[in-house]
Structure 1
Amino acid sequence: MKITIEQDALAAAVTYAARSLPSRPPAPVLAGLLLAAEDGQLRVSGFDYERSADTAAAATVTAPGRALVSGRLLADIVAAVKGDVRLELDGTRLLLRAGSARFTLPTLPLEEYPALPQPDDPSGTLPGPLFAEAVAQIATAVSRDDSLPALTGIGLRIDSSERTLTLFATDRYRYAVRILDFKDLSPDLPLAPALIPGKALLDAAKAAAADSTVDVALPGQTNGILSLTSDHAATTIRALEGELPAYEKLFPTEFPYEATVETAVLKSAVARVALVVDKKSPIRLSFTDNALVLEAGSGDDAQAVDNVHSELKGGELQIAFNPTFLIEGLDALGSEYVRFQFTNATKPAVLSGAGADPRALRYMLMPVRLTN
């Protein structure tokens, strides 16, 4: 193998593929990135049995070939050099030259490297930026507790009659749902929802954010792999076992109370009031005709009170929320005004952007029961 490639193109390809590298590889070869040079391009691939990343960049290929080298080391080197990069395989070593710098990297045994999963036929197509935005919103509600693996996933479900893809996630304290139009639907669609590791899907969606479109292939009956494919890159992620609670049964459908508040103003007030309590202690929200009063702390402890303007429909209501969960929900909505919909003070509230499309993000938040 002997090639010349622009530094920025190589850095982008290595960074993309390195997303799939495990922090603790189960086998030494899985810490490597596979470099394959042929037909005027360099393909860079990574795989850890759970997810793979494969991308290509234009290169001047003098001699085709393949090499497997330490991914982390290659990423660090490529980020530090300038100018065109020349790669040449010399026996069991890869020579890397850029400007006045020269590196000699030992290669890993190619014969021990597993074959990458092949992307399946796409279930449908989405705009890359829209898909990345939706996954980031839904990831807000993904659990960080690895003891319940299913709750660390993001659910994906196709509705062929509506031609939509629904994304959903919950950590038991909040539930996030968003619906996207799904174009170019395959006639042979999976019937059951897929559950995909949230962090891996978020990383892959971020990488696809610059692509005009991304083909999404949900796991089929015999293939437990999600595939995301764009013009120059492909990612596969192995699905989780299990399923999430059905959001259709959990989201309230009737709301006697509804309030609208300016998002940025509310977020600032929540952050100020929450300064006097720890991250898990609730803050109280009292909705009245024209004002929302926020309170935190009690007794001999530090206390805080603030208020913001709100518009209320229905009677007055007092409810309490975890301030971190509330702020994260407001951030995820990304709207100028937030609409709160309530059943009562002890039932989940539903947050959405005021005036937003019904398919936009809905964020259901469990209240905290007050002891006094």
Structure 2
Amino acid sequence: MRLTVPQPELAEAAKWAARQLPNNPINPILNGLLLEADGDQLTLSAFDGETCTRSHLDADITETGSAVLSARLLADITGSLNKADVTITATDTDATVETGSARFDLATLPRHDYPTLPQIPAHTGTVDGTEFAAAVARVKMAVDPAADGPFAGMSGVRLRIDGDRLELTATDRYRIARHTLPWQPAGAAGEAIAVMPGHVVIDNAKTLAGQTVNLTIPADGRGTAGFATGDRSVTTMLLDPDLFPHRLDRLQKDFQGTAFFDAEDLAVVIRQVATVNDGDKPIWIAFDGRHATVRARDTGSAKARVDAELDGDLADFEAAFNSRWLLEGLAAVTGRVAMELNTPHAPALLHDPDDDTYSYVVIPIRDPHKAKPGKG
């Protein structure tokens, strides 16, 4: 195999691929990056046993073929080079990476040991990459990467298709973040639900911005899903959809009252009073007339007021919340935000009253005086 490709494109593709791989895979061959040269394209593929990524680069290929190189080593080498054409030559046992001023001699990994890669399934529909990346940014804080066993579904992001809408939902039991965006089905509009590993969605969402994304979601939510743009694709095994807590969709939707704030004003006050807290200790929110009072007490005590427009019966209402969870929900809203409340122990709902695409449910702390720091 022999080919020449521009350094910026090669370095970016190698870096993206290496980032997908585990640090210590059970099978060492999965440390490798598969390079395949054919026609006028170089394809770089990485596979961790469940998730496969592919990048397609235009290249000047003088000898077709394939080789497996250490993904991280290739990423480090190509990232260190100046902008220039990079020539890669490989045999069954060794490879060279060179520019006009530098040369690297490498051992290849056994090509015959590299596993067969999953095929890219036919796409179900398309979304705008920038809108998809924004949706992921709004829900990712509620993914619990450590969830396993019967709670493994909470380590993922649920994707639900309903006609011409795609809804992304994530939850860690303490909050539920949802965002809905337009969806263009490839065929007849229908319904589907799948739970994609959270790290796969989060790690790759930004790379999709500015492009049309072909998304594959199987109707039964099981097996393989994927997303692809013109030059990149990701194929991954789905999480068991039965392990995602779908019952959270049935949380109470009627509220006792609503408080309207400027999102940034409320966030500033929460950050101010939380400075006296050691870790994720609670803050309290109470309402009086046209204001809300936010207070905290831990290493010291603090209290601050913020303007609020109240609708409904919130007299004598006070509830305790994890300050970080509130701030992360508020970060997704600009301008006016509505906080819908029922009882001090019932979930509160944050949303933009003028935009129904995003909602964030947060659970109050039931016994704030015994509260322990939340997950970091």
TM-score of the superposed pair, with normalisation by structure 2: 0.91
1:151 aligned counterpart, secondary structure: helix
Hey, what's the Cα distance between the residues in 1 that align with 2:282 and 2:222?
44
Shift of 1:346: 1.7
Hey, what's the Cα distance between the residues in 1 that align with 2:54 and 2:93?
23
1:122 and 1:186 in contact (8 A); partners too: no
1:87 aligned counterpart, secondary structure: strand
Aligned to 2:166: 165
Mark the runs of 5 or more structure 2 residues left unpaired by the alignment.
370-376
Aligned to 2:154: 151
1:190 and 1:218 in contact (8 A); partners too: no
Corresponding residue to 2:365 among 348, 353, 368: 368
Q: Does 1:117 align with 2:114?
A: no
2:279 aligned counterpart, secondary structure: coil
Aligned to 1:283: 283
Change (3 A) 1:99 1:311: farther
1:31-180 equivalence runs, <5 A: 31-82=31-82, 83-147=84-148, 148-160=151-163, 163-180=164-181
2:320 and 2:368 in contact (8 A); partners too: no
Aligned residues: 362
1:279 and 1:322 in contact (8 A); partners too: no
Counterpart amino acid of 1:365? V
Aligned to 2:202: 202
Hey, what's the Cα distance between the residues in 2 that align with 1:226 and 1:20?
16
Shift of 1:184: 2.8
Shift of 1:14: 1.3
Q: What is the CA deviation profile of residues 20-54 of structure 1, one whole-angstrom value per residue up to 9, with x for unaligned ones?
A: 21222121110001111121121111001110100
1:152 and 1:197 in contact (8 A); partners too: yes
Q: Does 1:323 align with 2:323?
A: yes
Higher mean displacement: 16-25 or 233-242:
16-25
Hey, what's the Cα distance between the residues in 2 that align with 1:279 and 1:156?
32
1:30 and 1:113 in contact (8 A); partners too: yes
The CA RMSD measured in Å over matched residues stands at 1.9
Aligned to 1:297: 297
Counterpart amino acid of 2:329? G
Aligned to 2:238: 239
2:124 and 2:187 in contact (8 A); partners too: yes
Hey, what's the Cα distance between the residues in 2 that align with 1:308 and 1:97?
61
1:10-29 equivalence runs, <5 A: 10-29=10-29
Counterpart amino acid of 2:206? K
Q: What is the CA deviation profile of residues 151-210 of structure 1, one whole-angstrom value per residue up to 9, with x for unaligned ones?
A: 1111111213xx22221111111011222221034349674x211111111112222124
Hey, what's the Cα distance between the residues in 1 that align with 2:326 and 2:199?
21
2:194 and 2:220 in contact (8 A); partners too: no
Hey, what's the Cα distance between the residues in 2 that align with 1:246 and 1:55?
38
TM-score of the superposed pair, with normalisation by structure 1: 0.92
2:185 aligned counterpart, secondary structure: coil
Counterpart amino acid of 1:308? V
Hey, what's the Cα distance between the residues in 2 that align with 1:219 and 1:50?
16
Shift of 1:369: 2.5
Q: What is the CA deviation profile of residues 123-144 of structure 1, one whole-angstrom value per residue up to 9, with x for unaligned ones?
A: 1100011111111211111113
Aligned to 2:266: 266
Aligned sequence identity (%)? 34
2:11 aligned counterpart, secondary structure: helix
Hey, what's the Cα distance between the residues in 2 that align with 1:10 and 1:246?
45
2:55 and 2:233 in contact (8 A); partners too: yes
Hey, what's the Cα distance between the residues in 2 that align with 1:292 and 1:209?
38
1:246 aligned counterpart, secondary structure: helix
Shift of 1:228: 0.3
Hey, what's the Cα distance between the residues in 2 that align with 1:115 and 1:206?
28
Counterpart amino acid of 2:226? S
Hey, what's the Cα distance between the residues in 2 that align with 1:113 and 1:165?
36
Higher mean displacement: 164-173 or 69-78:
164-173
1:267 and 1:330 in contact (8 A); partners too: yes
Shift of 1:248: 2.5
Aligned to 2:306: 308
Aligned to 2:8: 8
Hey, what's the Cα distance between the residues in 1 that align with 2:238 and 2:92?
38
1:19 and 1:53 in contact (8 A); partners too: no
1:248 aligned counterpart, secondary structure: helix
Shift of 1:221: 4.7
Aligned to 1:224: 223
Shift of 1:145: 2.7
1:338 and 1:351 in contact (8 A); partners too: yes
Hey, what's the Cα distance between the residues in 2 that align with 1:64 and 1:222?
38
